[in-house]
Amino acid sequence: MPDTTPAEDGTEAAQSGDAKRILVAEDSSAIQDLLQLILTQRGLSVDIVEDGKQALDAIRTQGYDIALLDFNMPEMTGLEVVAKYLEDPAKGPCPHFVAITGDVQGLLESQDNCEHFDRVMAKPLDINEVLSVIGELGRARPEAPGIRPVRPAAGGAPSRSPIEDVGYRFLRWPYDADRRRLTAGAEGYDAVLVYEADTPDDLAPLWQGRGLNLLPVIDLTGRLGAGADFDASGVGGDVAEHVTRLIDGFGDRRAALHRDVARSEDIGDKLLARIHVSGADLIPRLDGNRKGLVGYNLTLAPETVRAAAGKLVGRGLLAADFFERLHVCGNCRSARMIVREECPSCRSAQIEETSYLHHFRCAYQGPEADFRTGDDLICPKCRVELRHFGRDYDRPGTMLVCQSCGHAAAEPAVGFVCADCGTRSEGEAVATRDVHLYRLTRDGIGYLEAGAAFLGMAQQVLRFTDLPLDLVVALNGEARRYNETGAAFTLLSIAYRNERPIAQDHGARQFAATRRLFTELLGQRLDGGAKVISGGAFDYALLPGTGPEAVSGRIGDLGKRIAAELRFDPGAEISVFGPEDLG
């Protein structure tokens, strides 16, 4: 089996602690195989049942930590299973119930469903999501939410905004923002409609659900500022047209995202995708309400944006333009710093500028206060009255006198005081933080459109969770046979270097056709029994009974020969994996 470390697929939680007992109620045998394979690999104890009745019996008798229930099963739906179990007065401890459904929106419309299921997962299943939900629920006590809790709606149902009549499906914040819906992802929503929120950061949980960060945020509160994509708080009239244009624009650009990026859980990928989908650069704005003094035009904490964007700049996917340099408190990292001129001696800001007076006759030189006696200027040294400016005396310059300690200096020191924690820093010692505007580079756009293959970075690393389901099941069978009989097999992974140029010059359909033709020819030219499987970013070929050493020498030439027969060279790069590589 492919060897993936927990850190790669975010499932470390699934492996920690005692072995969890999982029930899978699912009538599709492919999904049964897949879940069994993955979950047992993670050290979990898995029981499989095929219908609702068996599921109810199993839950009653065995006592599970988590029950994954297909919503539409023979005999009894998932909801009925849960309802019956909960009705039973003699029921044991309650497992976490997770619904699996092809119609998330429909499921969530029933209030009962929302109460009974801890999570809802959309079909087709995303392996990463399954693992991360199981990890979370395994960690959490029942009813303790795994996602940051969202403030419940105050006072029941909201007054309905006319925007909801525009004809799109809205996630109404915070009323629809329970953790089941957030986990289920953006499936079934076109936009987020914010009824209540104080700051853009309140909407940060959107970034935890898959794809929710890619929806336009329409602000009805007027408090989100640039954090929202559209401020609908004070507009009437043409709002429908504007909302339509906004949502369609987001939808079009979202559809153009490569599946790798759109489904990625990585915060950097999410951020890249958000910039692309919003159609705007990542623009910083000074915001006095924030400790960091800067907010960006999205609903993610600026610290997170800065860290993630910094890494993307390092990878060449974003370009950074200087926006502002802030001074930062060394103690609490706040950028809300009071800058002032201070006494170089005692650091007090209570300094006053005063003139020097120079009495020519006796050479006394000092601050004007030394001379001042009522309205008169009397020299403190020789007691002569100064009457004639330029003749008796002049003012050769100014000095700063500290009213706190009496120290005098020609120039003040510059100092900072943190408005949040009160820490003082000297002007030359205070740390600075540069704020940048971020925009997509050509590489960034290429990555968003072509996925990981664009970067050529997935060549020698096979990500188990990226593989198509039927390939996983087939691989599992081959692996078992290899362990039992020693029969070798080979997996080819095919990436297409020329996907972008072909798609740009001749259209995505042309590339799809080229790719399909390439895999067909490859399947024909390989020895009998080869199984070619189309994936997302890559295509695959599984060769049972053939070891990788028999393939690797000639596969490059074969690829070139096939490409020569095609109208466009897809730039196929074929990597070879054997049973040893796949663990």
C-alpha distances in Å from residue 232, one per residue of 29, 190, 192, 296, 560: 48, 16, 12, 19, 56
Q: Are the beta carbons of 70 and 513 closer than 8 angstroms?
A: no
Closer by beta carbon to another protein, 21 or else 381: 381
The correct pick among 285, 315, 333, 381 for binding another protein (CB under 8 A) is 381
Q: How far is the CB of 243 from another protein (least distance, A)?
A: 57
Please, which residue, 364 or 482, has the CB nearer to another protein? 364
Query: According to the binding rule CB under 8 A, does residue 344 interact with another protein?
Result: yes
Minimum distance of another protein from residue 433's CB (angstroms): 23
CB of 377 to another protein, least distance (A): 15
Is residue 429 close enough to count as binding another protein by CB under 8 A?
Answer: no
H helices of 188-291, where?
239-255, 259-262, 267-278
Q: Which residues contact 386 (CB under 8 A, 6 or more apart)?
A: 357, 359, 371, 377, 378, 379, 392, 393
By the rule CB under 8 A, 356 interacts with another protein? yes
The shares of helix, strand and coil residues in the chain, as percent rounded to the nearest 5, are 35, 25, 40
For another protein, how many residues bind (rule: CB under 8 A)?
Answer: 30
Does 413 interact with another protein (rule: CB under 8 A)?
yes
Output the CA angle 13-16-21, nearest 5 degrees: 90
Strand partners, 398: 355
Tally helices (H) and strands (E) across the chain. 20, 27
> Would you say 323 or 356 has its CB closer to another protein?
356
For 141-198, the DSSP string reads PTT--SSPPPPPPTTSSPPPPGGGGGS--EEEETTT--HHHHHH-STT-SEEEESS-S
Q: Following DSSP, what letter does each residue of 556-574 receive, concatenated?
A: HHHHHHHHHHSSS---EEE
Q: Is 360 in the site for another protein (CB under 8 A)?
A: yes
Which of 70, 370, 449, 466 touches another protein (CB under 8 A)? Answer: 370
Least CB distance to another protein at residue 394 (A):
6
> Does the footprint of another protein cover residue 387 (CB under 8 A)?
no
The answer to whether 364 contacts another protein (rule: CB under 8 A) is: yes
Q: Would you count residue 84 as binding another protein (CB under 8 A)?
A: no
CA 169 to centroid of chain Cα atoms: 23
- Give the three-state DSSP class for 291: coil
Find the shortest distance in angstroms from Cβ 363 to another protein: 4
Question: Segment 392-411, which members bind another protein (CB under 8 A)?
Answer: 392, 394-397, 399, 407-411
Q: Tell me if 346 contacts another protein by CB under 8 A.
A: no
**Part of the chain binding another protein (CB under 8 A), chosen from 12-20, 34-42, 363-371, 555-563:** 363-371
Indicate which single residue of 145, 158, 225, 366 sits in contact with another protein (rule: CB under 8 A). Answer: 366
Q: Which two tokens stand for residue 117?
A: 């299921």
Q: Rounded CA gap, 217 and 238, in Å?
A: 18
Q: Which is nearer to another protein, 86 or 410 (CB)?
A: 410
Stretch that binds another protein, among 158-166, 208-216, 355-363, 491-499 (CB under 8 A): 355-363
User: Can you give the binding site for another protein, defined by CB under 8 A?
Assistant: 344-345, 356, 358, 360-367, 370, 381-382, 390-392, 394-397, 399, 407-411, 413, 428
